[in-house]
């Protein structure tokens, strides 16, 4: 029985990986024959992903898929519309297949010990500890997505501040959501770019500024809270003083991060690929080249077989189910013209006020997230009905509203992967982590970001 299960797992991973490779190859070859092959592989991947998905991801994905299918049936959509619905978010699916490869150099490149030593040496106060953990989680989140949360937790455990559950929880969850606002490797930006049609390079400056602002608000809130707290001094031993971090390895990790971003930009601008496909291509090529460059290609090959195919690819089923469902829903809204009706209702309810529109979208996302509905559901719906020109805002502004809504909703939703991961690490309930510890931060940061968006719009920056 176990053998049959393992065989099915390997077969699923093989089909999924083959689809990713074939899709990327055809972006350059543009072969109709390969395109037909990809349609068949995509159908198999989607079916296998819905079977293997679990929890809220499966529920929301199924609900979005069913709703989109009903809209397509009611609108008597042609077969081409159903094909488009299946392929609507195929680029996102490929990105989710390939992005886990970025974790191999981080896990196996020899960067863990230098980072742990840096924490043991420099995380003296609670405020400094929070800043280091949140920044590290944000940077690793660009490369590892949600896997950055447990990795950052393990690295930061060398500090005595790790015993403070609320502090480490805040640093991990808030640090992760800041990268969701701007990073081209995040699911948030991938779907937002898809929904609004905005170019990531055009979105990046304002999105990165919003992420910095969100990070600054979190640090300021912790700084204010730490002022009234007597921080115990950690006893520094001679062993601690001699535990000097390996600076060259930390610099090497920073170079890998910068090389990834540069490679994505180069593929997007020079090769004419969408940023989503550029991320997938970079994830496929760069980790192997990097591990070869540092002399650890055999380690990469072993991780590819043992970790990626047996653990990471099966876990991608949740994200695939979510975003295929979102693609069906978006196509159903378009084919049935229900999106036009909802867009008209939205425009009528907020009038010509951009402030009311912004508050309505972000507020609705936060309210539904607080009761356990993943923010992707509202963002997919809002993105499908939010005609940027009809609402009086630019596509960049619309994309910022959607990405902020999702990021803040992610920190507030008890069912989000971020909150669940953090709650498991600190041994507290997801409700306590999301609503009690992240709730005040989300409300303050969302208010600040709304004002920032309006200021940038008035200054004609977005």
| Predicted confidence pLDDT, tens digits, the chain (462 residues) | 555 666 667 778 889 999 999 999 999 888 999 999 999 999 998 888 888 777 766 787 888 888 888 888 988 888 888 888 888 778 878 888 888 888 888 788 888 778 777 776 777 788 888 998 999 899 888 877 777 888 788 778 767 787 888 999 999 999 999 999 999 888 889 889 888 889 898 999 999 999 999 999 999 999 988 876 655 554 444 444 445 656 788 888 889 888 888 888 888 888 888 888 888 898 899 999 999 999 999 999 999 988 888 888 887 777 788 778 877 877 887 777 766 666 666 667 766 788 888 998 999 899 988 987 778 878 877 776 665 556 778 899 999 999 999 999 999 988 787 887 888 788 888 888 999 999 999 999 999 999 999 999 999 998
Domain boundaries of the chain, sorted by first residue = 102-228+240-458
- Burial status of residue 56 (CB atoms within 10 A of its CB: 0-12, 13-18, 19 or more): buried
Torsion of CA 125, 131, 137, 138, to 10 degrees: 180
Tokens, residue 282: 């970079």
3-state SS of 298-330 is HHHHHHHHHHHHHHHHHHCHHHHHHHHHHHHHH
Residues 409, 259: Cα–Cα separation, whole Å: 30
Residues 213, 316: Cα–Cα separation, whole Å: 31
Q: Do 370 and 413 meet the contact criterion of CB atoms below 8 Å apart?
A: yes
Q: Is the dihedral of CA 217, 220, 226, 228 positive or negative?
A: negative
Name the 3-class secondary structure at 221.
helix
Among candidate residues 50, 48, 46, 24, the one with its CA nearest the CA of residue 35: 24
Query: Distance between alpha carbon 202 and the CA centroid of its chain, in Å?
Result: 19
Residues 270, 41: Cα–Cα separation, whole Å: 29
Q: What is the pTM of this model?
A: 0.74
Name the 3-class secondary structure at 189.
helix
């Amino acid at each position: 029985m176990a053998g049959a299960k393992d065989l099915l797992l390997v077969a699923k991973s093989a089909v999924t990986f083959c689809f990713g490779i074939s899709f990327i190859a055809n972006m350059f070859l543009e072969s109709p024959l390969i395109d037909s092959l990809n349609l068949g592989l995509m159908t198999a991947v989607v079916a296998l992903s819905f079977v293997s998905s679990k929890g809220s991801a499966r529920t929301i994905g199924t609900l979005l898929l069913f709703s989109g299918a009903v809209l397509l049936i009611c609108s008597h959509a042609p077969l081409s519309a159903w094909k488009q619905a299946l392929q609507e978010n195929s680029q996102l699916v490929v990105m989710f297949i390939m992005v886990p490869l970025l974790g191999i150099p981080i896990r196996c490149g020899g960067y863990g010990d230098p980072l742990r030593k840096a924490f043991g040496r420099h995380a003296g106060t609670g405020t400094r500890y929070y800043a280091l953990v949140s920044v590290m989680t944000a940077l690793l989140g660009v490369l590892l997505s949600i896997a950055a949360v447990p990795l950052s937790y393990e690295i930061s455990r060398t500090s005595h501040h790790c015993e403070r559950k609320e502090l480490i929880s805040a640093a991990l969850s808030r640090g992760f959501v800041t990268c969701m606002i701007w990073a081209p490797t995040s699911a948030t930006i991938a779907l937002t770019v898809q929904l609004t049609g905005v170019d990531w390079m055009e979105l990046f400056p304002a999105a990165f500024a919003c992420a910095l602002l969100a990070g600054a608000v979190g640090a300021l809130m912790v700084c204010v809270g730490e002022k009234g707290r007597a921080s115990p001094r950690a006893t520094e031993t001679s062993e601690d003083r001699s535990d000097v971090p390996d600076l060259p390895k930390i610099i090497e990790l920073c170079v890998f991060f910068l090389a990834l971003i540069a490679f994505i930009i180069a593929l997007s601008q020079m090769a004419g690929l969408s940023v989503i496909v550029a991320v997938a291509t970079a994830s496929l090529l760069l980790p192997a080249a990097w591990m070869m460059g540092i002399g650890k290609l055999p380690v990469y090959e072993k991780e590819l077989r043992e970790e990626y195919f047996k653990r990471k690819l099966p876990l991608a089923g949740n994200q695939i189910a979510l975003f295929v469902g979102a693609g069906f829903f978006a196509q159903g809204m378009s084919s049935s013209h229900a999106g036009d009706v909802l867009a008209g209702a939205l425009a009528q309810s907020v009038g010509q006020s951009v402030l009311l529109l912004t508050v309505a979208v972000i507020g609705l996302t936060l309210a539904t997230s607080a009761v356990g509905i993943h923010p992707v559901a509202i963002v997919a719906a809002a993105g499908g009905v939010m005609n940027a020109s009809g609402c009086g805002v630019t596509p960049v502004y619309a994309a910022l509203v959607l990405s902020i809504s999702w990021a803040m909703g992610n920190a507030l939703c008890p069912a989000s992967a971020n909150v669940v991961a953090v709650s498991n690490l600190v041994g507290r309930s997801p409700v306590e982590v999301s609503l009690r510890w992240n709730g005040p931060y989300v409300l303050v940061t969302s208010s600040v970001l709304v004002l920032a968006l309006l200021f940038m719009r008035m200054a004609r920056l977005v």
